[in-house]
Amino acid sequence: MTRSQIVSIAEKIIEMFYHDFDEKDPFKILISTILSQRTRDENTLVASQNLFSKYPNVESLAKAKPEEIYDLIKPSGMYRQKAERIIEVSKIILEKYNGKVPSDLDELLKLPGVGRKTANIVLFQGFSIPAIAVDTHVHRISNRLGFVKTKTPEQTEEELSKVLPKRLWGPINVAMVNFGRNICLPRNPRCEKCPFSKECKYHNSAVD
Q: Identify the pLDDT of residue 21.
A: 80
Question: Would you call 82 a catalytic residue per the annotation?
Answer: no
Domain of 112? 26-127
The model carries a pTM of 0.92
Annotated binding site for [4Fe-4S] cluster: 184, 191, 194, 200
Q: Identify the pLDDT of residue 1.
A: 87
DSSP string, 30-95: HHHHHHTTTS-HHHHHHHHHHHHHH--SHHHHHT--HHHHHHHHGGGS-HHHHHHHHHHHHHHHHH
Q: Identify the pLDDT of residue 20.
A: 85
The per-residue pLDDT for range 15-57, each reduced to its tens digit, is 999 988 878 999 999 999 999 988 888 999 999 999 999 999 9
Verify that 75 and 60 share a domain, yes or no: yes
Verify that 118 and 200 share a domain, yes or no: no
Verify that 82 and 110 share a domain, yes or no: yes
Closest CA to 55 of 35, 69, 36: 69
Give the chain's domain count: 2
Verify that 152 and 112 share a domain, yes or no: no
Question: Would you call 91 a catalytic residue per the annotation?
Answer: no
Q: Identify the pLDDT of residue 205.
A: 86
What CATH number did the domain enclosing 38 receive? 1.10.340.30
Verify that 140 and 173 share a domain, yes or no: yes
Q: What percent of the chain has pLDDT over 90?
A: 91
The per-residue pLDDT for range 158-173, each reduced to its tens digit, is 999 999 999 999 999 9
- Average pLDDT for 103-131: 96
